[in-house]
Structure 1
Amino acid sequence: MIAIEFEPPTIKLCECCGTETVSLTRFVYKDGDAHAVYYAQYSRCHETDRINGIVSLGEWGDSATPNDRLAFPFQLWASEDNYNVALVDAAASPWSHVTFLGRLLDRAEALAHPWHNEVFHITDHMVSDDPEIKAFLSGAPAGGA
């Protein structure tokens, strides 16, 4: 069973246009154990209606290092009748410079990796369990989750 720990959103002004950009940090537990971390970022005023995100899977114990984890960058968006997820190349990720999440995989490598199904499992929980993500994808006002 997956459980998500929700940190309060962080809101910053976008460097390119000055509008608010929301960043989310989430801790994912599986059967009570640390399992993954995901970050998500979006802005209601940008031309895109996509969420940029990254899921980091692997070991998160006290003795774990970034070498024990892999990071899967993605985009998430809503269409008329469903949610869509696309794994993207590491260079397209806002977290391309972050090292503690583990090695960032490019799209082809991520799709070939056996953990990609777990990434999609977590993104399924994001759209059903994360109130901030649900509100953004539904077009609800900020904080309306």
Structure 2
Amino acid sequence: ISNSIDFYGTIRAYSQEDTELIIKRMKEIHNGIEIAFDIKVIDEFRVLYPPVINDNILYNNFLKISQDFNFIQGETLALAEDFAFYQEKVPGIFFLLGTRNKEQNFISPLHSSSFNFDEKVLLEGVKLFAKLLEDRNEI
């Protein structure tokens, strides 16, 4: 039986309040484990990224505008993303620009050594951003 264990994980949540609640509850659980098993739990929580929270106005405009594009609404994602720091200062919207193309064998995930994509998809992203900016100026 091991004398110690190192355990690492990532917490991702949809709000800062949820992150704080998760950390609070984990500390309470650790305290219960300490009491139950007469051991010491040393925990360290480092919140590296705030949650990515899209601005409601921009998001609703995005939904309207994206109908003119090949947009597929997926499920909500809990992201760890630098963009969240910008969103703390100014309204923003984070969305994924799909690059998967089975016909061209562009099927590898983004963070892999075999990732590749058709660069034409970037033009569609620029067009979508331009339309978002035009629509934003009309508000």
TM-score (norm 1): 0.28
Structure with the bigger RCO (C-alpha within 8 Å, sep 6+) is 2
Counting helix residues as a fraction of each chain, which structure ranks higher?
Answer: 2
TM-score (norm 2): 0.29
Counting strand residues as a fraction of each chain, which structure ranks higher?
Answer: 1
Query: For the pair shown, which has the larger CA radius of gyration, 1 or 2?
Result: 2
